[in-house]
Amino acid sequence: MKYQSLDFIEIDSLLSSEQKEIRQSVRKFVDDEVLPKITQAFRQEEFPRELIKKCAEMGLLGANLKGYDCAGLDTVSYGLIMQEIERADSGFRSFVSVQGALCMYPIYAFGTEEQKQKFLPAMAAGDKIGCFGLTEPDYGSNPGGMITTAKETDKGYVLNGNKMWITNGSIADLAIVWAKLDGVVRGFIVEKGTAGFSTSLMEGKFSLRASITSELHFENCLIPKENILPNVQGLKGPLSCLSQARFGIAWGALGAANACYWSALHYVKNRIMFDKPLAGYQLIQAKLAKMVQEISKGQLLVWHLSQLKDQGKLKPAQISLAKMNNVRMALDVAREARDMLGANGIIDEYPVIRHMLNLETVNTYEGTEDIHRLIIGREVTGISAFD
């Protein structure tokens, strides 16, 4: 049966016809081109690079940025793109998020006009791929402690240090790297092939296997002076990018949850146990009702916050709430769906186990669930638990 996203509370009535058309075209792309490839990609721990060009042609890279050959879409349209893409796979959505929210956005928001002209059209076209280097081996939830440094010299900036867990790292043409210059966090554009810059692939993940994850190494890596992002200083640089990406994840997680709900719903309608479909048992219906309840609340949350974002009123702690809620919700839906499919819940003939495993990463990256709890706690109490 043709996939449809849950619309129990008629959330579609809040969407414009243009937004629905965008959703439909990405849904078709996912059905026709992403889903047929994703199971193998996940099995083989490979990112399906051949899909990059099609993503670019459809305007999915940096879709909410204006100018520089980007699509300039409103926030709900952007969110619907993330939702449809993550219906296929969180790792595939990661690629799109990192490219747009974590790499194109900092150049767009903090770069010079020359940097924007040089990189953004090429990145929107999928000709240049980016990665975002914030996390270090010893600094994950607390990036402010980072020990990667930049030193200014006559010839440019010299970078030293290591970044870990970097999505797209080994396939990237450029890395947005956050390092301390005179003790202050600054952003730098490091291009592939720069002497002293190398990457190594991180293998053996049991989650997000269709996404490339790498370490970045900088050893006396000299980059030109014009490769610093001049218009931001301090941790608010990378955290502003995280705000963009976390918001996309809050929408994206709805796609993974929808895929699991859809799969479980159809499975229990067709699976006969004790002489009637599983769907006829109260315990199974209670599980479906819980999924419908939680997905519907998640849909309302991101739709409302999208209105605030378009009005320029959205606060970081509100984004934390949406990321935390929707990813936890999707993980719970995936685990419940996995159970409802019985043994079939652990085999990749169905998408559920892949989503469930992926969502473990999504719950950790871009701020763990507990870090978002603490951000919300700080907002409501005025007291920081981080200090």
Catalytic amino acids? Answer: 366
Nearer to ligand FAD, 144 or 224 (CB): 144
Min dist. Cβ of residue 146 to ligand FAD (A): 10
Name the residue with the smallest CB distance to ligand FAD: 140
CB of 293 to ligand FAD, least distance (A): 26
Query: Would you count residue 141 as binding ligand TGC (CB under 6 A)?
Result: yes
Per DSSP bridges, beta strands 174-181 and 149-152 are parallel
Q: Least Å distance between CB 345 and ligand FAD?
A: 23
Q: How far apart are CA 228 and CA 232, in angstroms?
A: 10
Pick the binder of ligand TGC from 5, 64, 97, 148 (CB under 6 A).
97
Residue 208, class by beta-carbon neighbours within 10 Å (0-12 exposed, 13-18 middle, 19+ buried)? buried
| Per-residue contact flags (x/-) with ligand FAD for residues 91 to 120, judged by CB under 6 A | -------x----------------------
* 370 lies in the site for ligand FAD, by CB under 6 A: yes
User: Which residue lies nearer to ligand FAD by CB, 140 or 277?
Assistant: 140
Among 81, 99, 83, 85, which residue's Cα sits nearest to residue 34? 85
Which of 45, 86, 136, 366 is the binder for ligand TGC (CB under 6 A)? 366
Supply the minimum distance, in Å, between the C-beta of residue 367 and ligand FAD.
Answer: 6
Q: Are 109 and 231 in contact (CB under 8 A)?
A: yes
> Is the distance from CB of 367 to CB of 320 less than 8 angstroms?
yes
Please list the residues that pair with 277 across neighbouring strands. 272
CB of 140: closest distance to ligand TGC in angstroms? 7
* Residue 358 binds which entry of ligand FAD, ligand TGC, none, CB below 5-8 Å type-dependent: none
Q: Which residues contact 267 (CB under 8 A, 6 or more apart)?
A: 278, 340, 341, 344, 350
The span from the CA of 290 to the CA of 335, in Å, is: 13
Owner of token pair 């419908």: 292
Q: How many residues of this chain interact with ligand TGC, rule: CB under 6 A?
A: 26
C-alpha to C-alpha distance for 99 and 126, rounded to whole angstroms: 9
Pick one of 208, 229, 265, 331: the residue that binds ligand FAD (CB under 6 A): 208
Give the residue, chosen from 233, 308, 368, 378, that forms a contact with ligand FAD under the rule CB under 6 A: 368
| Phi-psi region at 268: left, alpha or beta (left = phi > 0; alpha = psi -120 to 50) | alpha
Select the residue interacting with ligand FAD from 64, 135, 258, 363 (CB under 6 A). Answer: 135
- HSE-up of 92 (CA within 13 Å, CB side)? 33
- Residues in contact with ligand TGC by CB under 6 A are 94, 97-98, 132, 134-135, 141-144, 167, 234-236, 239-240, 242-243, 245, 316, 365-367, 371, 375, 386
